[in-house]
Structure 1
């Protein structure tokens, strides 16, 4: 849980009593590869912090194709916060690309922290802004050629390329797996 506290303290100060309270509201979750942290059509019920592993945000387009929108890895919050906050059904999936270890807060415990800790809302808002920025698709611009998109992916996510299935990378880049294999071969 040290990773979570180190993360939180980047955004504001808490005394030991407040830190202990935050830890008392958190629990751990092992999320196996391919399991969902939250699903489209359901109301997100928890906020997570990734200790180990990678989670991807994805959705299905009008043609029923699965589109990977983002990757979220260690030392990051993971939540569909817009729908979590509004208590409405999500339109995307948050799925484990690898086995993941998370620290999670239920909706009730997350909201209790705001009521009990003076200044928590300020810290929470900063964490959520960073989470939403990380989830916003800052990835490939489809007008770029596929090789450029792949090179930018490697620059933006250098630690992920050997950790996640190539099918997810291809989906994120908007290319087929065969095209991705060809691009990778040509770069070497």
Structure 2
């Protein structure tokens, strides 16, 4: 829980009583590799903070192909915010790429924290803005050649290159695994 409190304190100040409330409302969750934190077609019901592990945000295109859109690793907040707030079904999946450990808040506990702590809405807004900016900035430019996209991936996610399956990296870059293998071989 200390990791989450440190994260929140980047966006605003909290007193000890407020920290204690947040600590009581969050629970630890271990999510095995391959399991989903949130699924398309279902209403998101919780907010997660990644303590350990890697997640990917993915969806299926109209051809039924799985597309990885984004990766999240340690010290990141994880929620489909718009659908969480609106109580509407998600269009994407949040899947554990590795075994993961999270701090999780149910919707009711998250709302109780928001209703109880004066100024927490502003802290939440700043946290969610950071998440949105990261999500938008880290998308690969399909107009670039595949080698450039891979080099940018390694720059954007330096710690993930050897932690996640090549199939997910290839999906993120919009290339086949064979193409990715050739690119990796050529830049070594």
TM-score, with structure 2 as normaliser: 0.98
Residue 157 (str. 1) matches residue 161 (str. 2):
no
Give the whole-Å Cα distance in 1 for the aligned partners of 2:170 and 2:5.
Answer: 35
The aligned residue for residue 99 of structure 2 is: 99
CA drift of 1:138 comes to 2.5
| CA distance in structure 2 between the partners assigned to 1:145 and 1:77 by the alignment | 31
Matches of 2:52 and 2:167 in 1, distance apart? 21
| Contact 1:72-1:135 at 8 Å conserved across structures | no
Matched residues in 2 for 1:83 and 1:170: separation? 28
Contact 1:57 1:135 in 2 (8 A): no
Q: Secondary structure at the match of 1:88?
A: coil
Show structure 1 runs of 5+ residues with no match.
Answer: none
Q: Where do residues 1-188 of structure 1 align in structure 2 (5 Å cutoff)?
A: 1-136=1-136, 138-188=138-188
TM-score after normalising by structure 1: 0.98
Deviations 1:110-137 (A, max 9, x none): 0001111001111111111112222336
Listed as ranges, the gaps of 5+ residues in structure 2 are none
Task: Tell me if the contact between 1:3 and 1:51 (Cα under 8 Å) persists in the aligned partners.
Answer: yes
Write the distance in 1 (CA, Å) between the matches of 2:37 and 2:134. Answer: 17
Distance 1:126 1:53 in 2: 23
User: How far apart are the structure 2 equivalents of 1:156 and 1:23?
Assistant: 31
Please report how far the alpha carbon of residue 184 of structure 1 lies from its aligned counterpart in structure 2 after TM superposition. Answer: 0.2
Residue pair 1:47, 1:107 contacting (<8 A) in 2 also: yes
The runs of at least 4 consecutive aligned structure 1 residues that moved more than 4 Å come to none
RMSD over aligned CA atoms reads 0.8
The total of aligned residue pairs comes to 188
